[in-house]
A and B are shown apart, each in its own frame.
Chain A
Amino acid sequence: MILETQNLTKTYQFGSSTITVIKNVNLEIENGTFVSIVGPSGSGKTTLLNLIGLLSHPTSGKIFFKGEDTSQLSERERRKFRLSNIGFVFQTFNLIPTLTAQENVELPMAFARVKPDTQRERAKDLLQLVGLTHRTCHRPKQLSAGEMQRVAIVRALANDPSLIIADEPTGELDTQTGLNIINLLLNLCKTQGKTIVIATHDEKIKKIADVVYESYARSFVRTTVQNR
């Protein structure tokens, strides 16, 4: 088990009113699985991903990562944990616009204090993995949407994390490009053993996922388990 949540709840306070976004979410995610979090807009998918990605704190409940209770971690420890264990892929790619593709991929390694030479080599290897060798020196605005998302995916892989969290990674892409991205993520899951947690309302992704959690009454319940 790479990730487990226990009664995860997140509420927001808006003035005098309290809004519960997710309530008592219990996830059990096995290592090397492709997990799809499905639900309509506003169902709390992104909130859930932010919580399991340690980007925000739950109001109540616990998150265990490889058996370790992350609620005990300080902010600094959470950052370090995130840096080495979790990779993020965003819907809008979120590449740093002033850096080239290669530099964007090098960035998480720089934060992890990897040697510059190693950073460069690994970034090139990763970009080669997604067929972007010819784009290493291009900045995001010089790349297509699909290319940007591929750069974002390899950036997420830079520090070789075991968990990749992708928040609607195909949301900004056309159907074919979206499919390519999904195949890329699926391939990473199957060939490199990465655990992929992907938030989507794309039915195609739902069909290929090993495990599907669907929103239900402010929570997410496991609805599908496919054995490949």
Chain B
Amino acid sequence: MRITRMCLRNLLRRRVRTLLTIFAIGLAAMFIIAVGATTSRYITVIKEMNLFFTGDVIVVARGVFVVQAFPIGGTIQEDVVDTLAAIEEVQTATPILFIPNPSKTQGTLELMPGNITIGLPTKDISVLVGPTPLRPNGSWPSVNSSQAVIGAALADKYNLTVGSTITLREHDITVTGVLETRSAILLHTIILPLKLAQKIYGYNMLINMIVVKPKTGISCETLADRIESEVDGIKTLTETERTEFLQPILDEAELWNTGLRTALFLISLILITNISIINTFERRRDFATLYAIGASKLTVTRIVITETTLLGFFGGIIGTILGAISSILIVSYYTSIPAIMIFPDLLTIVPPRLIAEILSASVLIGALAGIVPAVTIGRAKLEEILRYEY
């Protein structure tokens, strides 16, 4: 206890240096948490995309870039749906027009990047949203109407409710429902009747994906092979293929995350080591005195390592707090949900495991950073320090 008290006083004695070090470690820890939270957010979204259309075969135009089930661009003639529906192994074929990041949108709704417009037959909306409910008083769009259902994030951000009007490319659309969902994708989605989406975005009789549900007992692989043999110019994606496509993206995200984390840890380690070397060098005479009056090398090592560990610990605490705040702000930015509403979900965004990991790593880094200065002071020649350094 005495050692901890002494170390705290030593750190306080060099307040500015200590505070700057703690702040720098805090910043590093904050970046680790923020990057970790953001990366996990992206990974969640990507994984969530893979959860759509489970057990279905996705049909997209050949050569188009696909993020999981969702194509970026590309078109398919709408009548291909009928061709697919006629295949014996097919139970249903649902045409979808998927428009990510609608650009140059004019009107009352200024869409931020990350929003999505999806057009599909109103009777088939459940293919996309499953059992997701609407907020009270909401209803699904009518066939061939100028109506839309929007995600809760969009509704909250633009203060839209049932009956509000939004304008997409100079088309006025009435909001009939707000999706009450936690899905990062659906939160930002405008769901329109297919015909209306085609009209707004100029996809006349065109779509860019078809969700094909196989009949009971038919494997997706068999159905995919059958579809590719029957229809030209398309590509099929089974769930397995989508998962295989997902893994490299997740691996890469994880690699970047790990790399950045390692780099920040190393920077923190070097920083604390450097400060600790300066601190111990300045107090060589104090340490020599401690040795002279009977302190063991272990005691002096404990003092040095306790000081660096305290630096790491306080840096970790500050970093955790800053990291949690920045993560909330980042998630708020990407989801358009007010930060205050995200706060209750803090432990979901910044999982306790990540907090524990950061704090443990900060303490570990602090402890490691004390080794070099402790060894240096342990090797110093007592009599020379006591004699010459006043």
Residues of A within 8 A of B (CB): 46-47, 50, 53, 55-56, 76, 79-80, 82-83, 87-88, 90, 92, 94, 96-99, 103, 106-108, 110-112, 155-156, 159
Name the one of A79, A88, A94, A97 contacting B296, with C-beta atoms under 8 angstroms: A79
B384 nearest in chain A by CB position = A56
Check A90 against B382 for contact (C-beta < 8 Å): no
Any chain A CB within 8 A of the CB of B142? Answer: no
**1/0 per position for B372-390, CB-CB distance to A under 8 A?**
0000000001110011001
| Bound: A58/B327 CA distance, A | 62
Q: How far is the CA of A98 from the CA of B11 in the complex (A)?
A: 10
A94 touches B294 (CB 8 A): no
Taking A79-B296, A98-B10 as given, write out 4 further A-B residue pairs in contact, using a Cβ cutoff of 8 Å, ordered by the A residue number: A79-B294, A79-B295, A80-B294, A107-B295
**Contact between chains at B285 and A97 (CB < 8 Å):** no
26 A-B residue contacts at CB 8 Å?
A46-B383, A47-B383, A50-B382, A50-B386, A53-B292, A56-B382, A56-B383, A76-B296, A79-B294, A79-B296, A80-B294, A83-B293, A83-B294, A88-B292, A88-B293, A90-B289, A94-B289, A94-B292, A99-B9, A103-B6, A106-B2, A111-B293, A111-B295, A111-B299, A155-B293, A159-B294
Q: Which residues of B contact A80 (CB under 8 A)?
A: 294
B interface list, Cβ under 8 A from A: 2, 6, 9-10, 13, 285-286, 289-296, 299, 381-383, 386-387, 390
Q: Which of B6, B293, B383 has the most CB of A within 10 A?
A: B293
Beta-carbon nearest neighbor of B13 in chain A = A98
The CA of A152 and the CA of B70, in the complex, are separated in Å by 78
Give chain B nearest CB distance to A178 CB in angstroms. 18
Within the assembled complex, what's the spacing in Å between the Cα atoms of A106 and B381? 25
Q: How far is the CA of A99 from the CA of B387 in the complex (A)?
A: 22
Whether B293 pairs with A55 at a CB distance below 8 angstroms is no
**Distance of A78 from chain B, by nearest CB (Å):** 10
How many Å lie between the Cα of A104 and that of B375 in the bound state? 24
Distance from B198 Cβ to chain A, minimum over Cβ atoms (Å): 76
Residues of A within 8 A of B386 (CB): 50, 55, 90, 94
List the A residue with the shortest CB-CB distance to B1. A116
Alpha-carbon gap, A94 to B283, bound state (A): 11
Chain B residues, CB < 8 A from A92: 390
Considering the chains assembled together, what is the distance between the CA atoms of A2 and B296 in angstroms? 25
Which residue on chain A has the smallest CB distance to residue B287?
A96
Instruction: Give min CB distance, B266 to chain A, whole Å.
Output: 30
Known: A90-B289, A103-B2, A110-B2. Is A98-B294 also a contact (CB below 8 A)?
no
> Which A residues are CB-close (under 8 A) to B13?
97-98
A78 CA / B128 CA spacing, docked (Å): 79
What residues of A have a CB within 8 angstroms of the CB of B390 in the complex? 92
In the assembled complex, the Cα of A191 lies from the Cα of B291 at a distance in Å of: 29
Residues in B neighbouring A50, C-beta threshold 8 A: 382-383, 386-387
Whether B286 pairs with A82 at a CB distance below 8 angstroms is no
CA distance A46 to B387 in the complex (A): 8
State whether A98 touches B299 (Cβ < 8 A): no
Distance A99 CA – B289 CA, assembled complex (angstroms): 13
B residues within 8 A CB of A87?
Answer: 293
Q: B383 touches which one: A55, A79, A99, A111 (CB < 8 A)?
A: A55
Q: Which residues of A contact B9 (CB under 8 A)?
A: 98-99
Chain A residues within 8 Å of B294, by CB: 79-80, 82-83, 108, 111-112, 159
Interchain CA distance A144-B9 in the complex, whole Å: 21
What chain A residues lie within 8 Å of B299 (beta carbons)? 111
Q: A56-B383, A82-B292, A107-B293 are in contact. Are A94 and B6 (CB under 8 A)?
A: no
